[in-house]
Chains A and B, each alone.
Chain A
């Protein structure tokens, strides 16, 4: 097999050329923490949590974007690596509202998971960022910029899967933020509320509004389902609590296509015991509508049940 041989934590492995260190480590069941990486999205290399030590290199390269090379000797948990990861987590927490106690994402939050894994209880740094408004402008998604760690996953998910490019990076340096066009709100943007961005967000910065107050991840018995409404096969979770389906959460779009709002609404209607009243966007804002209207089935319904 044409490829490269390398050593990771004293274990030898041979992988095809072009494999990243992260993927090679995964083959060996070595878990390297990642915040900005998602194999469905383009490589980004921004959070730097996945850095590893490569013998002979001065810097610590990011495992998610560094190709494995012949003869490489990689350490994934060396003292330098652990120091770097701890510091990066501490830096991220410096400007983070540490309200895990009431955060919807608690239990399903990558930042929380890694803080636990590396024993980061509090940050030695003082926060310096200004307060930012919460984006509560629509019935589907809550956008909380304080919890955003700027991993850019939502930007790539919206651009690369959805093709919508609603979210983007804005400003520079410590002022950098993820914003809808012209720094307005999701409600005013061209967002179609497919929730692709919510599905990939590793923190509580983007949250599904339907889920608010319904429980936290560990309380659910999630069931992975494939959307039956078209042939593409996007991925959703039915969230059960005490046997009842309380909500349907976006899992991820099928490769090479956008996820649609309609699939999720339809699944919600079918599986949820108490489906919420759907809302659609009109010229005047969001309005509650009937399920037939929300699903775009009026024409069909008209044919089936003529008035």
Chain B
């Protein structure tokens, strides 16, 4: 039986992939093809921008942006007559060529999909689909080994936490294993609060059993009998798929009492979080699971010693757990051969912004930013100039073109003033104002600060006030020094990682784009022409034909002039709305 895979990730569902599935099933029925083709809903393929995606197996034909009305053509032309529907194939943004199979597309070809291998290829709501791709074999292997040995394998593999800071996972497990206490817990951090990030969501939606399997292996290794998955309530599909997966795993004896007939028992629970960014911080997350306000507390004691209800608790990120079954199945040596000396394996990034191909990409650690942005991402939209890439989410930093050849690993990124974070990659072109970018991220962190400690609550607010003034053209001499001073104090004294990293976007843009700040402050000029309050609209008298269109439509009444004579703009009155710029046919209006 051949398979037709229809993506049912959040992105494709939003662009009506459910209707495509329904129509497809109806069409197969109508054409009496039901015995020959099986329609499977899968998780996200990472190429949501091109969704809804439909893949025909085994020939690996990828159809993009499939709508209900395209289904008939797929069935009659492709399934019945073996002629792929040309117009639905992916078009390379660079060569404009139509590409038939997903393995030939640059976006996929240059990735190394190990953790995401099943995402988009198996039905996440069917445990047999997971078992068919060697699912739960890692758990089986682990249960046959002493606990210490399982921890050793993770240590040898060199796996580091994918939730941001990159702490060695094996070491964390060892601490929790050695911590005194009979009741221990495993917790999965599925809070994913970074704006624009969706790697964890995709893994949960596309391959939920891999996360459960990783957690169960961890639970066995540290000696935990219970675990929690803390997932944000804004991820209803992930929650639903997790519930299904958990029920199926329990039914088949992978979870619960006497797992696989051994004397190891462990049950997992799902907790829906209200979705505050700070609840991703581990101590706040634990407080939230316990039903308290999600506020971080000082460490030590670390959760490995005193976590949930004061008991030793191991907390890892979704992607970290999803790596674990792979390591058990394929061995620590295989895993350690991927990546760099100190950052092993692969990392999933959410590539967004001004690149041609946006989506989820999984790449080996150590790949350069240039390879990700220009090879996989296909380069900058409209072939504009690359300006910077923001990496690591709100706590990360912006790196300029001179860092394009930087290898992407934990330590290089930190040294350059950014960080791995959870894996957001936002590409910016030359129309992006870096002061505004810093302001944007600071605006996010200030609103998300839990408000507990002074430097974070009050300090970020003051930094934001200064940045806002600068983007409005009210910057003053001394502002940059004050920003740096505040940043130094906040980073040095804040209670949790949120405050300690919040100034990073400001510091990295100040480091690489200081001149842009200075232009705003000294010359009241925004070099990227993006800060509205700093723009001046002018009319070129040579080009203006006096058509009066702009004068009649200007909402501020800022334009004057007689018909058939050049018009002028009164800058005092102009509200910088941009209406006239769009209206003017001879393009006489320009912005400075």
User: Which residues does A use to contact B, with CB under 8 Å?
Assistant: 43-49, 51, 58-60, 62, 65-67, 80, 83-84, 87-88, 91-92, 94-95, 124-126, 128, 149-150, 152, 168-169, 171-176
CB distance from A84 to the nearest CB of B (A): 5
- Is B522 positioned at the interface, with any CB of A under 8 Å from its CB? no
Known contacts A95-B458, A174-B457; A45 and B297 CB within 8 A of each other: yes
**Chain A CB within 10 Å — which of B455, B465, B489 has the most?**
B489
Residue in B293, B489, B491 whose beta carbon sits within 8 Å of that of A168 in the complex? B293
Residue in B448, B449, B453, B488 whose beta carbon sits within 8 Å of that of A46 in the complex? B453
Residues on B with beta carbons closer than 8 Å to the beta carbon of A67? 300
Q: In whole angstroms, how far apart are the Cα atoms of A92 and B455 in the complex?
A: 9
Contact, CB under 8 Å: A84 / B492: yes
Known contacts A59-B493, A87-B486; A174 and B458 CB within 8 A of each other: yes
Contact, CB under 8 Å: A91 / B462: yes
Q: In whole angstroms, how far apart are the Cα atoms of A66 and B459 in the complex?
A: 22
Residues on B with beta carbons closer than 8 Å to the beta carbon of A60? 492-493
Known contacts A43-B298, A94-B462, A174-B461; A84 and B493 CB within 8 A of each other: yes
Say what secondary structure dominates the interface of chain A. Answer: loop
Give the nearest-CB partner of A43 in chain B: B298
Residues on B with beta carbons closer than 8 Å to the beta carbon of A149? 454
Contact, CB under 8 Å: B458 / A91: yes
Say what secondary structure dominates the interface of chain B. Answer: helix
Residues on A with beta carbons closer than 8 Å to the beta carbon of B492? 51, 58-60, 80, 84
Contact, CB under 8 Å: A128 / B489: no
CB distance from A209 to the nearest CB of B (A): 28
Q: In whole angstroms, how far apart are the Cα atoms of A83 and B485 in the complex?
A: 9
Give the nearest-CB partner of A42 in chain B: B297
Give the nearest-CB partner of A174 in chain B: B461
21 example contacts (A-B, Cβ-Cβ < 8 A) are as follows: A45-B298, A45-B453, A46-B495, A47-B453, A47-B454, A48-B454, A51-B493, A80-B492, A84-B492, A91-B455, A94-B458, A128-B462, A128-B465, A152-B452, A169-B451, A172-B447, A172-B449, A174-B446, A174-B449, A176-B451, A176-B452
Known contacts A83-B489, A125-B462; A48 and B453 CB within 8 A of each other: yes
- Is B500 positioned at the interface, with any CB of A under 8 Å from its CB? yes
Give the nearest-CB partner of B478 in chain A: A124
Contact, CB under 8 Å: B454 / A173: no
Contacts A92-B458, A173-B451 supplied; 9 other A-B pairs, CB < 8 Å: A45-B298, A45-B495, A59-B500, A87-B489, A88-B489, A91-B454, A126-B462, A128-B461, A168-B293
Residues on A with beta carbons closer than 8 Å to the beta carbon of B491? 59
**Chain A CB within 10 Å — which of B300, B453, B457, B458 has the most?**
B458
- B409-466 residues with Cβ-Cβ distance < 8 A to A are 446-455, 457-462, 465
CB distance from A122 to the nearest CB of B (A): 14
Give the nearest-CB partner of B295 in chain A: A169
- B52-70 residues with Cβ-Cβ distance < 8 A to A are none
Known contacts A126-B465, A173-B446; A48 and B494 CB within 8 A of each other: yes
Give the nearest-CB partner of B278 in chain A: A172
Residues on B with beta carbons closer than 8 Å to the beta carbon of A65? 298
User: Which residues does B use to contact A, with CB under 8 Å?
Assistant: 276, 278, 293, 295, 297-298, 300, 446-455, 457-462, 465, 482, 485-486, 488-489, 491-495, 500
CB distance from A87 to the nearest CB of B (A): 4
**Chain B CB within 10 Å — which of A45, A46, A124 has the most?**
A46
CB distance from B302 to the nearest CB of A (A): 12
Residues on A with beta carbons closer than 8 Å to the beta carbon of B446? 173-174
Residues on B with beta carbons closer than 8 Å to the beta carbon of A176? 449-452, 457
Contact, CB under 8 Å: B454 / A46: yes
Contact, CB under 8 Å: B449 / A91: no
Residues on A with beta carbons closer than 8 Å to the beta carbon of B450? 172-173, 176
Residues on B with beta carbons closer than 8 Å to the beta carbon of A168? 293
Q: In whole angstroms, how far apart are the Cα atoms of A282 and B453 in the complex?
A: 38
Residues on B with beta carbons closer than 8 Å to the beta carbon of A172? 276, 278, 447-451
Residues on B with beta carbons closer than 8 Å to the beta carbon of A84? 455, 489, 492-493
Contact, CB under 8 Å: B457 / A173: yes
CB distance from B62 to the nearest CB of A (A): 43
CB distance from A18 to the nearest CB of B (A): 10
CB distance from A29 to the nearest CB of B (A): 24
Give the nearest-CB partner of A123 in chain B: B462
Give the nearest-CB partner of B500 in chain A: A59
Residues on A with beta carbons closer than 8 Å to the beta carbon of B298? 43-45, 62, 65-66
Give the nearest-CB partner of A93 in chain B: B458
CB distance from B472 to the nearest CB of A (A): 14
Residues on B with beta carbons closer than 8 Å to the beta carbon of A49? 454
CB distance from B124 to the nearest CB of A (A): 34
CB distance from A306 to the nearest CB of B (A): 53
Give the nearest-CB partner of A86 in chain B: B489
Q: In whole angstroms, how far apart are the Cα atoms of A274 and B554 in the complex?
A: 73
Q: In whole angstroms, how far apart are the Cα atoms of A59 and B490 in the complex?
A: 10
Give the nearest-CB partner of B444 in chain A: A173
CB distance from B92 to the nearest CB of A (A): 44
CB distance from B243 to the nearest CB of A (A): 29
Residues on B with beta carbons closer than 8 Å to the beta carbon of A62? 298, 493, 495
Q: In whole angstroms, how far apart are the Cα atoms of A95 and B459 in the complex?
A: 12
